[in-house]
Amino acid sequence: MPKLSPSEFWSALKKGAPAPVYLVHGDDQRLVDKAYKAIESLALAGGQSEFNADYFHGRDADPAQILAAANTMPMLADRRLVAVRHIEGMKTPKDPEAPAKATTPRDRILKYLESPNPTTVLLLHAGALDLRKGDGKLETAAAKAGVSVHFPKPKAWKLTDAIVEMARERGRRMDQRAAEALAELAGDDMLALEQELEKVILYRGDRKVITREDVLEAVADIKETVVFAFTDAIAGRDGEGALIAFRRLADQGNEPLATLGMLARHFRLVWKMQEYRDRNQTAGVIARDLHLSEWVVKEKYLPWLEEFPASETGRIMTLIADLDIKLKSTRTDKDVLFERAIMDLCSSRLR
C-alpha cells in the first residue's frame, strides 16, 4: 500500500481487516497516539488480547524479541499485535570494534518488512522522523509492506482551525478569538492544547459556547501560580527558584517555547499594567481591558507590581526576544538554552 494521508488512513481503517504493518509517525503526537489506539483496537478485535499482544519501547527493545513475537502464530484468534512505541528511539549501540557494515537493530526490522507475517499486525509508532536520512528507508519499507501515515502538526496559519475542530469534536463551539487565546497560552504542541481545552471545558461546565474570556480565565488562572513563582524568582535574582519553577512547568507538559510564550505574555501584561497603574486605573478596568479575571489582577498582578521595577520590564522583554530566536534557530538542547537564559537574568541586578 502507498504512504497515506491522514484522511486516507482513517478511511482505509474503516474498510476491513488491518494491514500486516503500520508505521504511524509525526510531530502531532495527539493524532499519532489516536491512530495507534485505533489500530490496536482493530488488530485485537474479536480475539484473546491477553495471549495475542506484545508491547515494546524502541529505546529498550531487543529486535530479536520483537521479531520473535512478530513471527509467532496467534492463539484462538485470526491475528496478533506486536506494537513498538517510539521506534525512532531504537539506536545502534556504539561499538568501536564492530565491523563497519554490521547489522543494526533497524536493519533487522527492515529485513522483516520485506516479508511480514500475514497473521501479525506490526505497529510501529514514532514521533518526528528525519525522512531525508535513514528514517526514509523505514517509511518506504513500511509503506511497501503495509501502511505508512504521517501526522504533521498544523501549519501556524491553520492552528486555530485545528483547535476549533477539537472543540467541535467535544460538542462545543469555539470562535477564532478563543482559539487564538488558547494557542497563545498553550503553544503549538497538540497534546498540550488538547489537555488545556479539556480544562476549559471542565471549567465552563455544560456551556456549549467557549469564548476568549473563558479560555483566559480557565487556562491562565490554572497556570498563573507557577508562572508567578517563575517570574517572582527572576525578579528576586533567585536562580535556583527560577530553575525549579521552570522544571515544574516542564513537568506539566510545557515545551520550552510554550513556557517562553507564557513568560512573554506575562511581562507584556506587566508592561501594560504599569501604564494603567500610572494612570490610577482600578483593578476592574484593568481586568476588563486586558481580558483577565478581576481576582487575578487584584490578588496576583497588582501586589506583585509594587515590588517590580518598571525600568527593567523592557530589558527583560529584549532578553525574552533573544531567547525566542535562539530556541527556534539552533539545535542546542532547548532546556539548556532556557536554563542559561534564566541564570543570565538572575545574575544581573534587576532592581
DSSP 286-334: HHHHHT--HHHIIIIIHHHHTTS-GGGHHHHHHHHHHHHHHHHH--S-H
Q: How confident is the model at residue 83 (pLDDT cuts 50, 70, 90)?
A: very high
Cell matching residue 77: 484468534
- The one-letter amino acid code at 55 reads Y
Once rounded to an integer, what is the mean pLDDT over residues 163-184?
89
Q: How confident is the model at residue 145 (pLDDT cuts 50, 70, 90)?
A: very high
Lowest mean pLDDT among 12-21, 244-253, 304-313: 304-313
Fold for domain 3-150?
Answer: Rossmann fold (3.40.50)
Q: How confident is the model at residue 171 (pLDDT cuts 50, 70, 90)?
A: very high
Residue 344, SS3 per DSSP: helix
Q: Please, what sign has the CA dihedral across residues 170, 176, 178, 183? A: positive
Neighbours of 165 (CB within 10 A): 14
Once rounded to an integer, what is the mean pLDDT over residues 58-82?
89
Would you kindly state where each structural domain of the chain is located, as residue ranges? 3-150, 158-347
- The one-letter amino acid code at 197 reads L
Q: What are the pLDDT digits (tens) for 99-129?
A: 545 578 888 999 999 999 999 999 999 888 8
Once rounded to an integer, what is the mean pLDDT over residues 295-315?
72
What torsion, rounded to 10 degrees, do the Cα atoms 28, 33, 38, 40 define?
A: 140
The pLDDT score that the predictor gives to residue 37 is 92
- With a cut of 70, say whether residue 224 has pLDDT above it: no
Q: Which element (helix H / strand E) includes 339?
A: helix 334-347
> Each residue of 307-333: b (16+ CB within 10 Å) or e?
ebeeebbeebbebbeebeeebeeeeee
Using left for φ > 0, alpha for ψ between -120 and 50, and beta otherwise, residue 55 falls in beta
Residue pair 167/211 in contact by the 8 Å Cβ criterion: no
Select the more confidently predicted residue: 13 or 206.
13
The pLDDT score that the predictor gives to residue 82 is 95
Of the chain, the percentage scoring pLDDT greater than 70 comes to 85
The pLDDT score that the predictor gives to residue 141 is 92
CA neighbor of 271 nearest in space, from 308, 242, 237, 320: 308
CA neighbor of 335 nearest in space, from 343, 289, 290: 343
The pLDDT score that the predictor gives to residue 71 is 94
Distance CA 214, CA 218 (A): 6
| Domain 158-347 CATH class label | mainly alpha
CA neighbor of 189 nearest in space, from 217, 153, 229: 153
Once rounded to an integer, what is the mean pLDDT over residues 62-81?
91
The pLDDT score that the predictor gives to residue 95 is 47
Residue 207, SS3 per DSSP: coil
The pLDDT score that the predictor gives to residue 351 is 42
The pLDDT score that the predictor gives to residue 321 is 86
Same fold: 3-150 with 158-347 = no
The pLDDT score that the predictor gives to residue 222 is 53
- With a cut of 50, say whether residue 58 has pLDDT above it: yes
Instruction: List Cα–Cα distances, 166 to 4, 68, 154, in angstroms.
Output: 22, 40, 12
CA neighbor of 9 nearest in space, from 157, 176, 109, 143: 143
CA neighbor of 153 nearest in space, from 336, 240, 29, 61: 29
Residue pair 146/22 in contact by the 8 Å Cβ criterion: yes
